[in-house]
Chain A
Amino acid sequence: MTTLRELASRPLRTFLTVAGIAIGILALTVVGSLAERLQTIVARSTSLNGDVVFATIQRSVMLAPDAKARVARAFVQLRALDGVRAAVPEIIVPYETDNAGRFGPPSLVLGFPAEARTLERSLLSVARGREPESGERRVAVIGPDFGAAQRVELGDVIALQGNSFVVVGVLDKAFTIFDAAVVVPFADGQDLLRQLLPPTLDRLPDDPVSAFLVAAKPGSDVSLLARRIALIDGLAARDPREIAAAVRSTLGIFDAIVFGAALIALLVGAFSVVNTMTIAVSERTREIGIRKAIGATDTDILLTFVGEAAAIGALGGAAGIVLGLAVVAGLDARSAAGGSVQLFAISPNVALGAFTFSVVLSCVAGLIPAFTAARLPPTVALRH
């Protein structure tokens, strides 16, 4: 209590110092929450897609006069490859063609044939409602973030490119791009793709496909499978492990940069603690002498000033976390409103880690002035 009262006796200086720490912790909280969510997304995507290779159709093939035949041939070759458990065509179209002003990745509409269900099951599971039945048209299964953003519930009707679809199922939260996606029957996806392309592109095959989803047999070499797929005429494929490694590497660089920036902000705050405590020691030199005259040890004096630095760190840490939570909640609300995946995850680890770091850093920053105070000879301090 007396520590807080001491800080309150110099309100402006305390406020500015606490604000310096709070800004650093705010940055650290936001960045930590972002890193936490991105790590979750990458981990989930990697574990779910570990045995799946996305084989995309080369654009030149898609627009070639014999596109239909070449794609069909590629599909036959694909299924015949050693190590392929299943291969299904897939349609990918954007939910909205205009993404201006949106925060986060765009929502997608994905079209899968009915036979893809066995493959999908490892990727997607329906939390509420059901999956589309074989041959069923104009039905949709939506991701939970899409439902929240568009205020769509099970049984509602949604419009995709002006076409009405009945929502028959809602997916489980997977922390992947599927959270903000709409899954429709393959034939409906093909219709949407046709509608989306400009009329001048009249060469689109009758049976368009965006990509093939290829599941590897258990125990087979997925990297080798990806290389074999890439050798098929008209197809391109990347090794999912290579993609995961590249994502992890990029994420590592991203983490280093953003955490570095947050730490610099926090270090500036720490310097303001050093400054504040140095001024406090200078102003309270006589008080140090009085305390020593009535029996305070060097340790008592050290703890008094380190305690005040710790209180500044605790106040700044708490304020920074509260502000950080508000910023994160605001940004997440904005991305949810736009139908995007939520990009932040506040975990107790992030909050506790940021708070502890703030207190420890402030204590360290307060140590030098506190040590100076502790070593002051009492007579020198009393003459001040």
Chain B
Amino acid sequence: MSGAALVDVRNVVKVHAPGTPTEVRALDGISFAVPAGAYVAIVGESGSGKTTLMHVLGGLDRPSSGDVLVDGRSLAATTRRELAAIRARSIGFVFQGFNLLPNLDARENVALAARYGGHRADASARAERVLDEVGLAARMRHRPAALSGGQQQRVAIARALVNEPAIVLADEPTGELDSRTAQTVLDLLDALNGRGQTLIVVTHSEAVWRRAQRVIRLADGRIVSDDAA
């Protein structure tokens, strides 16, 4: 734990379907801290609790016990509305399956996140700027179906960055990309981290976690190792 930690995970336990025959203890007393500007990879086999941990870190799910502090703010003690505001302004998500809205073009997908982040007046301008930064200035009016996998993931990264969040959480960001496109996306993440962006990446790909500064390994919902890469 650290008082200066951007993300402080304190003895987090997450039990799915508690009290039922299908009860699963997905996270079992997880604690770690992430300072600002870090590049952390969370790795582990399928079912190790990686995705549940990412959901808890990102305020998509609440821990059964324990707490997560983002920039000193407890996620356990927030209302649904406050949690939504934290997701909008402090956390940027990048998903494995891109998760872009199919009826919106690249600019609209990014601008939507900007609007949810409170930037209603300049949402489009922000979206255009960040899409330009990820190299998609010429593809702003294309819908996801008209973009390649790598381009879609870059739109997703732009969407994650548009509100200048404290942390970017990426879940298997190269999982649906070929190796060459994956390299491009990883280079982009490296560049973001190089500019001071805190990154937490959930992955089982060695090519991904090799790029992180620190690797936290999970097994059966517990941290089995926490090392510099």
Which residues of A approach B to under 8 Å, CB–CB? 2, 5-6, 9, 286-287, 290-300, 377-379, 382
Contact = CB atoms under 8 A, between A and B. Distances in A.
Contacts of B85: 295, 297
23 contacts: A2-B108, A286-B99, A287-B101, A290-B99, A290-B100, A291-B112, A292-B84, A293-B95, A294-B112, A295-B84, A295-B85, A295-B87, A295-B88, A295-B89, A295-B163, A296-B116, A297-B81, A298-B81, A298-B84, A378-B55, A379-B61, A382-B60, A382-B99
Given A2-B108, A300-B116, A294 B55 contact: no
Contacts of A290: 95, 99-101
A167 B117 CA distance: 75
Nearest to A299: B81
Contact of A377 (B61, B81, B88, B108): B61
B104 interface: yes
A210 B134 CA distance: 92
B116 A378 contact: no
B90 to A, nearest CB: 10
A374 to B, nearest CB: 10
A244 to B, nearest CB: 58
A296 B84 CA distance: 6
Most buried by B among A9, A287, A292, A298: A292
A285 to B, nearest CB: 13
Given A2-B103, A9-B103, A379-B60, A294 B88 contact: yes
B104 A293 contact: no
A293 B81 contact: no
Task: List the 5 closest pairs (A to B, CB-CB), nearest first.
Answer: A295-B88, A295-B116, A297-B84, A294-B113, A378-B60
Contact of A294 (B80, B87, B108): B87
Given A378-B61, A379-B61, A297 B80 contact: yes
Nearest to A294: B113
Contacts of B55: 378-379
A300 B87 CA distance: 14
A292 B87 contact: yes
A222 B93 CA distance: 83
A109 B202 CA distance: 92
A299 B85 CA distance: 12
A281 to B, nearest CB: 15
Given A295-B87, A297-B80, A378-B60, 7 more contacts: A2-B104, A291-B101, A291-B116, A294-B116, A298-B80, A379-B60, A379-B61
Nearest to B159: A294
Contact of B103 (A6, A292, A298): A6
Interface of B: 55, 58, 60-61, 80-81, 84-85, 87-89, 93, 95, 99-101, 103-104, 108, 112-113, 116-117, 159, 163
A377 B56 CA distance: 13
A286 B101 CA distance: 10
A379 B53 CA distance: 12
Contacts of A297: 80-81, 84-85, 116
A383 to B, nearest CB: 10
Most buried by A among B60, B84, B93, B163: B84
Contacts of B116: 291, 294-297, 300
Given A298-B81, A379-B55, A293 B101 contact: no
B117 A295 contact: yes
A291 B99 CA distance: 10
A291 B84 CA distance: 10
A297 B116 CA distance: 8
Nearest to A295: B88
A298 B55 CA distance: 18
Contacts of A379: 55, 60-61
A17 B105 CA distance: 26
A262 to B, nearest CB: 35
Contacts of B113: 294-295
A359 to B, nearest CB: 23
Nearest to A374: B80
Contacts of B112: 291, 294
B179 to A, nearest CB: 26
A294 B161 CA distance: 11
Contacts of A294: 87-88, 93, 112-113, 116, 159
A293 B103 contact: no
Nearest to A9: B103
B93 A293 contact: yes
Contacts of A2: 103-104, 108
B158 to A, nearest CB: 12
Contacts of B99: 286, 290, 293, 382
A302 to B, nearest CB: 12
A297 B113 CA distance: 12
B89 A292 contact: no
B22 to A, nearest CB: 14
A5 B103 contact: yes
Nearest to B56: A379
A298 B100 CA distance: 19
